[in-house]
Every structure is written in C-alpha cells, then in structure tokens.
Structure 1
Amino acid sequence: MTRTPGFARLALLLVMAFVLALGAGCSRFGKKEPETETLPVDQLYQEANQSLRNGNWSRASNYYTRLIARFPYGEYTEQAQLDLAYAQFKAGNYENATSTIDRYIRTYPAHRHIDYAYYLRGLVNFNRENTFLERVARLDMSQRDQESPRQSFNDFLLLIQRYPNSRYAADARQRMVYLRNELARHDLNVGLYYLDRGAYVAAANRGKALLQDYPNSELDGDAIALMGESYVRLGEETLAADARRVLELNHPGHPWLRGDWPRGESVWRSLVPFSGEREVRTSALEDEDD
C-alpha cells in the first residue's frame, strides 16, 4: 500500500505536536529557576529593598547577596552592600554585618554614604553583647565583657572625628556618653572588688585610671571616693585628706563624705561571687604594679 504525501505531512505534524507538548510538560514540572537569578538589577534591588522595609531580614539578605554576586559593579551594588549589612545587623548576624561593613569601607572609602558605614559599625558593636538572655535579665552592660563596648566607642569616635557634620554625628555623641559611663562603671566595679578583697593599692590605682580614661563621666565622684577609701585603709592620711577635699569641692553630697559609701559588697561580687576571681586577681596584681 502506497502512502500519500498528505498522510506523511499529517504524521509529521503529529510528531511535532507531541514533541512540543512533551517539552512544555517538562518545563511545567521541572525545577523553576529562582527569580534572584533572572531578575534585572533594578527589580532585584526593589525586591530586596521591599523585604528590608517589611522586616524580612533573611529574604532581604538573600536578595542583596545575589545582587552583589550577579552585578559586582554599579550604583545598585554599592548601596546593596550597605543595605545587606543593615539586614544582617537587624537579624543579629553581627559577625557577618561587621565583615560586610569592613569590606564596604575598604572598597568605597570615598563613597557619599561612608559616614553611615562607620555609624552602622558602631551600632553593631553597641548591640553585639546585648543577647536575648541579657535583655530579659536586664543585666547591666558594665557587668559584661567590655571589648565590644570599647570598639563601639572607638567606631563612633572615628565617625565624629572624620565626619563631624554627619547626620549621624549627634546620635553617635549621645551613645559615646552612655558608653563612657558604662565603661567607667565597669572599672569602678573592678575597683570595688579590689577593695572588698583588700587589694587597696590596686583599688586606688583603678580609681585614678577611671578619672584619666573616662573624664567627666557620671562616676567621677565614685572614683575619687574609691581612691579616698583605699587611702584610708592603707593608712595614707595625707592622700585620704586630699581625696576628701577634692570630693567636697566637686561632689559635696557624695555619701562617702558622711561614711555611707561603699554600701556592702560590690555589684560585681554580688552578681558573680566566684567566677572570674582568678582573672580579676591577676588584674589586681597588674594594677598594683602601676
């Protein structure tokens, strides 16, 4: 039996239709490529920015990361790095945020938003030790490790030194006042611990260092009182009298002047009665050598 040309064309059309249908089915049921790999840079940034505004830090970080990887150069990428650092900061990924900020500062040292990068790094370190447990327990910052607060203070100091007219300078100055007081309170607590333990020379030196390192803090009066009490217990009457005279002149209402300071054991001792004693004792020996 001989097949007609019309039959052959019909068979060919059926085969082509089957192939097209099969391809469409594979496309429909196959793995869809994520939009982070297909969107143009402007739309990708808009999606990331919208997630940031909505507080979806994880999604924002993912979109910013893919934008930077796919489009390593350009205005969107420059801004995306700052936004990524902010999203990481809000998500509590402080190490990643710091790395992103440091990379931004190295790459774009003259960028018009470089002041914000320094400010954001200060915020990251300001909040680094503020864990959920500490927020719930309302622990005093002065009782925590001081490395991050010191770094935060230095970050804000660098900001106001390099960019004194920055829109972030005023807030940075306020945070520096707070940090200076907390760092001073930490040193005071250490000094009171020395006093409790009978390390009077170390206690006096810690009070002196507090005045030198954190001038005009709200703990100035306590620092002078710490020195005075240490000198009293050492039997250094002249030095104790000098401390009293300075305290009467600058802080006439201080409770040490009426024999009502310090009250009981130090805050450090009451919160952490045993832990860290060896480390603090080692520090006391160093203070006595000063």
Structure 2
Amino acid sequence: MQFVKVIGALTLLIMISGCSWFGGEKTIPDIPEQVLYDDAMSALDAGNWALAIEKLQLLEARYPFGRFSEQSQLELIYAYYRNSEPAASRAAADRFIRLHPNHDHIDYAYYLKGLTSFEEDRNFLARFLPLDETQRDPGAALDSFESFSTLLNRYPNSEFAPDAQRRMQYLKNRLATYEIHVASYYMKREAWVAAANRGRYVVENLQETPAVPDALSIMAESYTKLGMNDLAEKALDVLRLNYPDYVIRPFSPQRFDLLYTASFGLLGEIEPATPARPVNPDRLREAEEQGQRADSSGKRSLLNRITFGTFGSDGSDEQESEQSQ
C-alpha cells in the first residue's frame, strides 16, 4: 500500500512538471515600445496587414498606457479593414469611440466604421460585374448609413465629411431601390396593402431619390387594385406634377386568364416594370480614373482587354473624334 502511494505521488509530480520538460509556454522577449510601433508601421506601409495586426495587438497589450496607445488603436481599425475583417474592424472602432470620446481623430474612427460596413457585402465579382446589389439584405448598408450620419452630424467640418456624404447619398438610393424591389415582389403576389405601404415609406422617408417615381406608381396601382380611387388619383397627381417625363408602367403582372391558366403560369404574363439601380460612387471614380488614363496613354485598360471591350474605356473613340476635328 505504501508503495502504491509513492508511485502515485511520483506520477503526479511528473505530470505537473511535464510542461517545463516539453517546453511549456514560451516567453516573448521584452521589445521597446518605439520598436514595436515602427515595426507595425513598416508592415502597414508594405501592405502586410496580418503582421501589422499582430504588432499592433502586441503593442497595445504590452504598453496599454504608452504614448503610442491611442494611435495604435486607430491603426488597428484600419489594418482590420484592409485585411477584410469587417467584424473586428467595427469592434475596434466601437472600442476606440467608447474609450476616447473626445479624441481629436474620433471622426476617423466613425468614417472607418462606416466604410467597413459599406464594403462588407461587396465581393470580388461585384467590383467588376454589373451585379444588382440593391436586391441583397441591406443590413450592412443601414449600419454604414448610420455611421456616416453620426459623422456628419457631430463633425460636419471633418475632412472625411464630403466622402461620407457622397456615400450616404448612394446608400440612400440603394435603400430606396431595395424597398421598391420588395414592393414589386408584393405586387407579383397581389399583396396590395403591403406594396402600397412600401411605396409610401419611400415617398415619406427617402425623398429625392430616383426610386420616388416608382414608389408613387406602385402606390397608385396598389390603391387602384384596392378600390381606393381617391388615394390612387392623389398619387398619380403628385407623380405627374413632379415627374412629368415618367412613363407609368404596371408593376403587377398583367395576366391573360385563359392562356395563363392553360399553361400553368408559364405563358400569358407580361414582365412587370423593374426599378432603376443606383450607381456605386466607387465605380464612378474608377471609371473616371480609367477614362483619364486611357485618354493620356491611348491604350486599352486591363479591364477592357479582359472583358473583350465590354467594360473599361480604351479612349480610341475620343481620339478619333479629336483627329476628325
């Protein structure tokens, strides 16, 4: 019995000290604050976002009250954003805003938070192909709009305010177009009340957007289907008064009963109207830059060559017109 106790004690000691035998936890050498910060900035300049995140996290953990603490937290937001980690970037921005509400560069934190949500649902294909982003879930767009709105309301003189305002206008157009897509879906399902409510929401809350005439048209058509002719006439009067060039088209499917029934819904249906799509401001900027480069060089852009001339400008038409003049 005594022998068993001795063996058990030795086994326990071996297990406890086993970590030190097999290496255990490695201690990180003490690195000066200035060296860590310089390494992080070098990684950011080189585009090595993962290494920059590692250095910035270590800098904040080792020197939480150092002279580079606040700046490293700002840089960490940007590094997460460039490393395609939107959740971590927003969390870092929220943490910085909570810890430093009176910081001189807090507007930068709000701007990066909004920019992160703005770019979150844009994948590689959406950057180069004409995909309709307005039919996606607008959750990220709403978050981005809220961050940019806070930036403009609290810091209207910020250097990031003009770009934030431009992106907010795009987001507003996108949200309005999304509401029109939902209203169109309700029109196809003959849910007239739901479609009219969606159109009224656009008219009341998302004014001065390209989707407003479509919203008025949906309201007029829905109210007509519901037998509310007075409301339908009011919507049509507002539409004709403010958008005299708008061509009124039905958003609900126009069915021919006999053919539609005989073909089980495959035939006898006219394609309803589709809402207009807002243009992403980044695409406008990229198109302008490509056009300027093409005008200066006279060569086809890479995007123009890859897409066989579908996208990107080669500047040849403008050169020919100039030569002809």
TM-score between both structures, scaled by the size of structure 1:
0.75
RMSD between superposed Cα atoms in Å: 2.3
How far off its partner does 1:108 sit?
1.1
Give the AA of the match of 2:114: G
The equivalent residue for 1:264 is 271
- The 5 A counterparts of 1:193-208 are 193-208=185-200
The equivalent residue for 2:180 is 188
The equivalent residue for 2:207 is 215
2:159 partner SS: coil
CA–CA distance in structure 1, aligned partners of residues 83 and 274 of structure 2? 32
How far off its partner does 1:38 sit?
4.1
1:58 aligns with 2:50: yes
The equivalent residue for 1:12 is none
Confirm or deny: 8 A CA contact 1:85 1:101 kept in the other structure.
yes
Confirm or deny: 8 A CA contact 1:37 1:66 kept in the other structure.
no
The equivalent residue for 1:224 is 216
Confirm or deny: 8 A CA contact 2:251 2:273 kept in the other structure.
no
CA–CA distance in structure 2, aligned partners of residues 207 and 147 of structure 1? 20
The equivalent residue for 1:243 is 235
Confirm or deny: 8 A CA contact 1:116 1:168 kept in the other structure.
yes
CA–CA distance in structure 1, aligned partners of residues 132 and 82 of structure 2? 22
2:166 alignment partner, one of 158, 171, 174: 174
CA–CA distance in structure 1, aligned partners of residues 206 and 105 of structure 2? 30
CA–CA distance in structure 2, aligned partners of residues 242 and 108 of structure 1? 51
Compare 44-53 and 236-245 and name the one that shifted more. 236-245
1:75 partner SS: coil
- The 5 A counterparts of 1:106-117 are 106-117=98-109
The equivalent residue for 1:25 is none
How far off its partner does 1:96 sit?
1.0
**Change over 3 Å in CA distance of 1:138–1:62 after alignment to 2:** farther
The equivalent residue for 1:11 is none
User: 5+ residue gaps in structure 1?
Assistant: 1-32, 269-290
Higher relative CO (Cα under 8 Å, sequence separation at least 6) belongs to 1
The equivalent residue for 1:81 is 73
CA–CA distance in structure 2, aligned partners of residues 106 and 78 of structure 1? 12
Question: CA offsets, 1:151-195, max 9 Å, x none?
Answer: 110111011111111111111111110000000111010001111
The equivalent residue for 1:97 is 89
CA–CA distance in structure 2, aligned partners of residues 267 and 42 of structure 1? 58
2:104 partner SS: coil
The alignment covers a number of residue pairs equal to 234
2:139 alignment partner, one of 120, 124, 147: 147
CA–CA distance in structure 1, aligned partners of residues 72 and 34 of structure 2? 11
CA–CA distance in structure 2, aligned partners of residues 182 and 37 of structure 1? 51
Seq. identity, %: 40
The equivalent residue for 1:123 is 115
How far off its partner does 1:74 sit?
2.5
2:68 partner SS: helix
1:111 partner SS: coil
User: 5+ residue gaps in structure 2?
Assistant: 1-25, 253-269, 276-325
CA–CA distance in structure 1, aligned partners of residues 65 and 164 of structure 2? 31
CA–CA distance in structure 2, aligned partners of residues 122 and 37 of structure 1? 37
Q: Which one has a bigger Cα radius of gyration?
A: 1
1:69 aligns with 2:76: no
- The 5 A counterparts of 1:32-43 are 37-43=29-35
**Change over 3 Å in CA distance of 1:251–1:87 after alignment to 2:** same
How far off its partner does 1:242 sit?
1.6
CA–CA distance in structure 2, aligned partners of residues 106 and 75 of structure 1? 19
Give the AA of the match of 2:177: R
Give the AA of the match of 1:129: D
TM-score between both structures, scaled by the size of structure 2:
0.67
* Structure with the larger helix share: 1
How far off its partner does 1:126 sit?
0.9
1:44 aligns with 2:51: no
Question: CA offsets, 1:228-249, max 9 Å, x none?
Answer: 1112222332222221111111
CA–CA distance in structure 1, aligned partners of residues 215 and 45 of structure 2? 46
